[in-house]
Amino acid sequence: MVENRASAVTLGRGFWTATAVLGIIAIAGIVFWTFAPETMYMLPNVAAQPGADIDRLLRFMLASGTALYVFVVGYIIYFAVAFRVRKTDAPDAIGVQIHDNHVLELWWTIIPTLFLVVLSVLSVQIWYNIQLAQPSNGLVVESLGHQWYFSFRYPQVHGEVTGEMHLPAGQPVVLNVTSADVIHSFWVPAFRLKADMVPGLINTIRFTPTTPGRYPIVCTEFCGTRHGEMSALIPGENGQANPGAQWLVVDTPADFQKWYHAIQLKNANASDALPTASTGTVNLAGGDVKLGATTFQAKCSACHAIAPFTQRIVGPGLKGLLDDPSHPNLVDGDKATPDDIAKILQTGYKGDMGQMPNSVANGLTDKDIANLVAYLSSLK
């Protein structure tokens, strides 16, 4: 009893005409994505290796995606029109019922499988190229994300560089990124490379800038209320320049050397540069507990409490410094003795507890150190 079922329909000339039209549109799409300039897919011209490889993968995906889209949507429209309900159909007619077409099933399995295999081979190849095949002996630069700016560190440059980041064209770069507070993400669209800046974790990207120029740096992880300022792509208020905008400047090697030497000098003379510590052993004899207490209030109490070790302000609490069984060593790992306390006061400290300026930076004379050691030793 199948009288209300439409008779089986063979695909006639209309189908093949539609297929030809869709084929032409798909080929036009493939040609377009193969040769379109980068700006057509809203990215700036590529300015670093291996950015061109990433663009090739993107072009492949756009071209194949366009062809797929054209055929899928094209056939949906064609079949909806070709097999629409006709006036002559019975009111309760149902369409052609097709199942178990092995030829069709075979092809719709083989074609997507081959496509995905090709896509995964290309992806793994480029991933390998980005992660492992880049030169690892390049200029090592670090970038830290802060709320809300990027800072940079260069070899042989004191402290951090803020504002513009400079790199020389043609030289491989190993860029290590991390964060000083929350999660940020470092992205230079013209390089096509992006790395999350995660506190406590160092992520590395390797690349070679190829074209001198100025390229926007963009934070692509929401990092607080002023996240938007960490993007040179976003303008500031009232048409003003975004006050937080930071740029990556790719210089010619000669220009980079000029900038590098200038920043070395500038940062060496910066106010946060640590003066050289005094050397020589401090004579602790005659240290005065009362004078030491006064000096402690003036110079040390902003960062240290007279309290147990665990009560940190910036540095640890200093009560019972010399006989705390749970902390027999000072933060520098040395055994707590008056001489070692004097040494830390003299040379300063930098480590997982933060940073303490040395005696020159703190304005401590040898007499002050002797007094402080006497005072700290007196606290039980």
Q: Which residues bind ligand CUA (CB under 6 A)?
A: 145, 148, 184, 219, 221-223, 227, 230
Q: How far apart are CA 19 and CA 78, in angstroms?
A: 9
- Report the half-sphere exposure of 68 (CA within 13 A, side-chain side): 11
Please identify, using beta-carbon distances, which residue of 223 and 369 lies nearer to ligand CUA.
223
Residue type, 7: S
Give, in order, the Cα–Cα distances in Å from 94 to each of 10, 77, 80, 85, 90: 16, 19, 14, 9, 9
Please identify, using beta-carbon distances, which residue of 145 and 320 lies nearer to ligand CUA.
145
Please identify, using beta-carbon distances, which residue of 184 and 206 lies nearer to ligand CUA.
184
Contact assessment for residue 201 and residue 183, using Cβ atoms and an 8 Å cutoff: no
Q: How far apart are CA 225 and CA 5, in angstroms?
A: 63
Q: How far apart are CA 91 and CA 93, in angstroms?
A: 6
Please identify, using beta-carbon distances, which residue of 184 and 304 lies nearer to ligand CUA.
184
Work out how close the CB of 149 gets to ligand CUA at its nearest, in angstroms, rounded to a whole number.
8
> If you write DSSP's letter for every residue of 25-86 in order, what string do you get?
HHHHHHHHHHHS-GGGGT-PPP-EETHHHHHHHHHHHHHHHHHHHHHHHHHHHHHHHHTPPP
Work out how close the CB of 163 gets to ligand CUA at its nearest, in angstroms, rounded to a whole number.
16
Work out how close the CB of 245 gets to ligand CUA at its nearest, in angstroms, rounded to a whole number.
13
Please identify, using beta-carbon distances, which residue of 11 and 201 lies nearer to ligand CUA.
201
Work out how close the CB of 231 gets to ligand CUA at its nearest, in angstroms, rounded to a whole number.
8
Work out how close the CB of 180 gets to ligand CUA at its nearest, in angstroms, rounded to a whole number.
11
Please identify, using beta-carbon distances, which residue of 219 and 300 lies nearer to ligand CUA.
219
- For the CA atoms of 285, 289, 291, 296, the dihedral, rounded to the nearest 10 degrees, stands at 110
Residue type, 211: T
DSSP 245: -
Work out how close the CB of 199 gets to ligand CUA at its nearest, in angstroms, rounded to a whole number.
12
Give, in order, the Cα–Cα distances in Å from 31 to each of 120, 339, 355: 22, 77, 59
373: CB partners within 8 A, 6+ apart: 284, 287, 292, 338, 341, 342, 345
Please identify, using beta-carbon distances, which residue of 233 and 265 lies nearer to ligand CUA.
233
Please identify, using beta-carbon distances, which residue of 148 and 256 lies nearer to ligand CUA.
148
Work out how close the CB of 183 gets to ligand CUA at its nearest, in angstroms, rounded to a whole number.
8
Please identify, using beta-carbon distances, which residue of 145 and 315 lies nearer to ligand CUA.
145
Contact assessment for residue 279 and residue 347, using Cβ atoms and an 8 Å cutoff: no
Q: Give bridge partners of residue 177 from the DSSP assignment.
A: 143, 203
Work out how close the CB of 150 gets to ligand CUA at its nearest, in angstroms, rounded to a whole number.
8
Work out how close the CB of 111 gets to ligand CUA at its nearest, in angstroms, rounded to a whole number.
42
Contact assessment for residue 152 and residue 161, using Cβ atoms and an 8 Å cutoff: yes
